[in-house]
Structure 1
Amino acid sequence: MNIINKIYIIFISFILNFILNKLLIFIFSKYNIFQNIRYEGPKSHFKKKYTPTMSGINIFIMIFFHYYFFLKKNNIYLNTIILLYFLNFLIGFLDDILKIVKKNSNIIKLKHKIILQFLIYNIIIFFNKKILYKNIINIPFLNIKFYTNKIINYFFYFIIINGFCNSVNITDGLDGLVSFPLILIYIILILILYLSIYNNNFSLIHKLFFIDLISIFMNIIGCLLSFLWFNSYPANIFLGDVGSLPLGSIIGFSFIILNKELLSIVPCFLLFIESMSTIIQIFTYNFFNKFRFFLMAPIHHHYELKNIHENKIVVRFWILSILLFLISLILII
């Protein structure tokens, strides 16, 4: 299979999603459907309160259209990842709608999201029990294989999928911040998928799934490029939980299927930093007499409060993403 032959998908999805974003911005602006800004967030963000949101709806339309009309639906792994995307899309959609209607950014609390994500995870496991039967976790760089069982896999995979879900959501906090790193992560996944097609360790059903997944990821890259066109500073539209949660979930699921769970730390290290800064902040605040390790979490807000311009923070995070991307290329190729 030649990846070059599928690059046209990126251009088509870019053009179609560009049109959808223009349409969504027009409709949402007309009916005053705007992003709700956190009261406790940086004061500079209040100027964004008249920015439309939920561009993730367009990405869902593009993925569903691509899946329904162009991909074979007899592959259990492909159907599983589409189901995972759809269910997380529903959580994000519910959260975004409630934020808009109630004009409150904290309607569905983090613990409630995790409960819903745990329910989704169990639906996925029920739908495809084969996920748990993979009994090897590869430790990168050391050529060590760690043998597991279904119980270990059950909790370990939930942490990965849920972690990616919420990491992408947390990182999506500045104009243009999350799109570019996600594009690079999906490119890395495409390369790993391409190399895995010629790996004898995978079954035919896996390899057929990898071929379809490559085309889906190229579709997503085109969508993210067109989203970035409108989301770059100053943003004309935001992704919303309806986009960040499902996009994060399928990244985690893909690394699991590819036996690259721990290798994912390298290309996704920026997401890891953002999540860990939030976890550290919550931990120190609750257990050290309301001590704040950062001025504000996640860490991009910390730099904002140090009077570093939003655009400069985003570009520097992009540079870090490029460096992580290059390191990942060295490791996988």
Structure 2
Amino acid sequence: MLYHLLYSLKDISIIFNVFKYITFRMICGALTAFILVYIFMPYFIRFMKQKQFGQIVREEGPSHHKAKTGTPTMGGVIIVTSIMISALLWCNLTNYLIWIVLFVLLSFGFVGFLDDFLKIKRKKNLGLRAREKFLAQIIIVSIFYLVLFKFLNFSTTLNFPFFKKLIIDIGILYLIFSMLVIIGSSNAMNLTDGLDGLAIVPFIVVAGVYSILSYVAGHIKFSSYLYLPYVPNAGELAILCAILVGAGLGFLWYNSHPAEIFMGDVGSLALGATLGAIAIIIKQEFLLVIAGGLFVLEALSVILQVAYFKITKGKRIFKMAPLHHHFELKGWPENKVVVRFWIVSIIFGLIALSTLKIR
């Protein structure tokens, strides 16, 4: 709204012309999201403490995690709200891609909210049943697919990193692929969100990477030069990605060790799904595996652990899954696990960006 209001004043003064530039609005959006989270999170923390709405730590987790029981959760409510407000202020609201991504953000956030609320209400680490959560996610992605690929006629082709001309059209199978990307990204971030500050920094890294990719994808000259698919209007998503970065930094202020609040499923499911949706829209789905490599490792550790446990009837690959618990039980202090995982996530992000020239 601010974008539309201020840019409309360009005929009065040339200074208002600056609001047409995506890069300028990226900065404005990121700062707005950060400030909103920074200002309103303390009030939310106080409210959650008054209502005694705290984290329910799973029984099978590391014993020292019991100290986290009662820490306010559902900080994702403020994160998602701040993202929405910042997007409404600084994005071009006539751009349909913005609304599609915000739909995914809010829908997955609502599913996560129900899951968190039920856990708090029951005083157990038991929210929505897995099949209920999965069904809701399938329905949301199906709507996303219908709007994007049926009504808006988006391409169902896959573009592969490192290859200039390897393009495959998978047709209706893109629906299944969309589910793998969005639901996989959402739940991978959810699995990673187990230590103070662990998930939010890799999220910030991936959102930063995709802010660059979105800007390039929406610029016909840059995309042509770098052999990336050109996606009209995708440049606005760079602003939304910058807003994600700003909101993430604001949350990190309160989520760094020792955490004053956790994001909960309302945050992790929503933010992970949003990254997946953006990756699909700008046709950089496979780069999400690289940029979000830490999320992939965490999810794979759970899949491998469960599969190996069933096949061998009780044996384990890791001391505990997800992967961050394995290193905790090996004796790494929580802070060391978190910072080292941050370093790994930054390396993955740099590798993802390097593929822009390796094609």
Length-normalised TM-score, structure 2: 0.86
CA distance in 1, matches of 2:24, 2:92: 21
Given candidates 106, 128, 143, the residue that maps to 2:164 is: 143
CA contact (8 A) 2:202 2:342 kept: yes
Greater Cα shift, 323-332 or 184-193: 323-332
Task: After TM superposition, give the deviation of residue 105 of structure 1 in Å.
Answer: 1.2
> Which amino acid in structure 1 is aligned with residue 318 of structure 2?
F
- Give CA-to-partner distance per residue, 1:270-324, whole Å, 9 cap, x none: 1100000010111112222122211111000111111211110001101111211
Contact 1:136/1:145, CA 8 A, preserved across alignment:
no
> Which structure 2 segments of 5+ residues have no match?
1-20, 225-229
- The residue aligned with 2:205 is 184
1:243 corresponds, among 256, 261, 267, to 267
For the 8 Å contact 1:125–1:131, the answer to whether it is kept is no
SS at match of 2:101: helix
Aligned residues: 330
Mapped contact 1:267–1:321 kept (Cα < 8 A): yes
Superposition misfits of 4+ residues, deviation over 4 angstroms = 130-133
In the alignment, the residues of structure 1 paired with residue 183 and residue 189 of structure 2 have an alpha-carbon distance, to the nearest angstrom, of 10
RMSD: 2.0
Within the alignment, does 1:106 sit opposite 2:131 as a pair? no
Offset at residue 15 of structure 1 (A): 1.7
Q: Does 1:231 align with 2:255?
A: yes
Q: Which segment drifts farther, 99-108 or 69-78?
A: 69-78
- Residue 40 of structure 1 is matched in structure 2 by 60
Contact 1:275 1:298 in 2 (8 A): yes
**2 CA distance for matches of 1:215 and 1:71?**
7
| Residues 142 and 215 (structure 1), Cα distance of their counterparts in 2 relative to 1, 3 Å cut | closer
Q: For the Cα contact (< 8 Å) 1:36–1:105, is it kept in 2?
A: yes
What is the DSSP-based 3-state SS (H/G/I as helix, E as strand, rest coil) of the residue aligned with 2:260? Answer: coil
Shift in Å, 1:139: 1.6
Tell me, what secondary structure is at the counterpart of 1:262?
helix
1:10 maps to: 30
Report the more deviating stretch, 106-115 or 76-85: 106-115
Aligned to 2:4: none
Partner of 1:65: 85
Corresponding position: 1:166 with 2:190: no
Q: Deviation at 1:155?
A: 0.8
Q: What is the correspondence of 1:77-226 to structure 2 with a 5 Å cutoff?
A: 77-128=97-148, 129-130=150-151, 133-199=154-220, 206-208=231-233, 210-226=234-250
Query: Percent identity at matched positions?
Result: 33
Query: Which of structures 1 and 2 has the larger relative contact order (alpha carbons within 8 angstroms, sep 6+)?
Result: 1
Question: Following the alignment from structure 1 to structure 2, what is the Cα–Cα distance between the partners of residues 252 and 8?
Answer: 24
- The structure 2 residue matched to 1:266, chosen from 290, 305, 324, is 290
In the alignment, which residue of structure 1 is the partner of 2:313?
289
Q: Spell out, residue by residue over 1:190-215, the C-alpha distance to the aligned partner (whole angstroms, 9 max, x if none).
A: 1111112222679xx9533x233222
Q: Which moved more, 1:115-124 or 1:21-30?
A: 115-124
Residues 99 and 149 (structure 1), Cα distance of their counterparts in 2 relative to 1, 3 Å cut = same
How many Å separate the matches in 1 of 2:57 and 2:182?
A: 27
